[in-house]
Amino acid sequence: MLSYSKLSRKPLLFKSFTGLSIKQFDDVYEEIESKYPKHEIKRLSSPKRERDMGAGRRFRLAVKDRVIMVLMYYRLYITYTLMEFLFGLDQSNVYRDMEKIEGLIRKCLPIPQKLHNVTKRLKTTEEVENSTFQALWLLLIVLQNKKYQDPRTG
């Protein structure tokens, strides 16, 4: 099972997997760790929550390992299936664990915004045609405004 203690023994792999050196990670983690209790209290006291605070499933991974899991996801963009294998969790737990700490990480470190909340599913053929037409029209405008030089003619 992948963890901070195992990954930190190999600094080149650590940087390759997370995008941060061990020192940079430790600095960011220090900030995350200081904000984590307040973040958890806010999350657990949500009005949508059905259970009392303190009830429910405990996390199998330590906070530090969950931070590494999120950073690896954004750095390598690997599937939840591979994350399941690497961290010894079920896919659903990988998703839930990442979702519950991602907001806190985003406050401490710039990570990309997921696009699934922004994109719109096209439902009718008219929507597809309009969308395709708009994309082609924009491409045409860009190509007309760009000075294109054919590499074969110099």
| Residues 44-64, mean pLDDT to the nearest whole number | 78
pLDDT band at 153 (very low <50, low <70, confident <90, very high): low
Domain ranges of the chain: 4-108
Residue with tokens 């000075």: 147
pLDDT band at 66 (very low <50, low <70, confident <90, very high): very high
Residues in Cβ contact with 84 at an 8 Å cutoff, skipping those fewer than 6 apart: 90, 91, 94
* C-alpha distances out from residue 138 to 120, 125, 126, 134, 144, Å: 19, 20, 18, 6, 10
Is the pLDDT at 58 greater than 90? The verdict is: no
pLDDT band at 120 (very low <50, low <70, confident <90, very high): low
Residues in Cβ contact with 136 at an 8 Å cutoff, skipping those fewer than 6 apart: none
Q: For the whole model, what pTM was predicted?
A: 0.68
Mean pLDDT of the chain: 82
Class of residue 22 by CB neighbours under 10 A (exposed 0-12, middle 13-18, buried 19+): middle
The secondary structure of 101-125 as a DSSP string is HHHHHHHHS--PPPSTTT-----SH
**Which pLDDT value is given to residue 145?**
67
Q: What angle do CA 139, 140, 144 make, to 5 degrees?
A: 120
Helices 22-44 and 91-108: angle between axes, nearest 10 degrees: 110
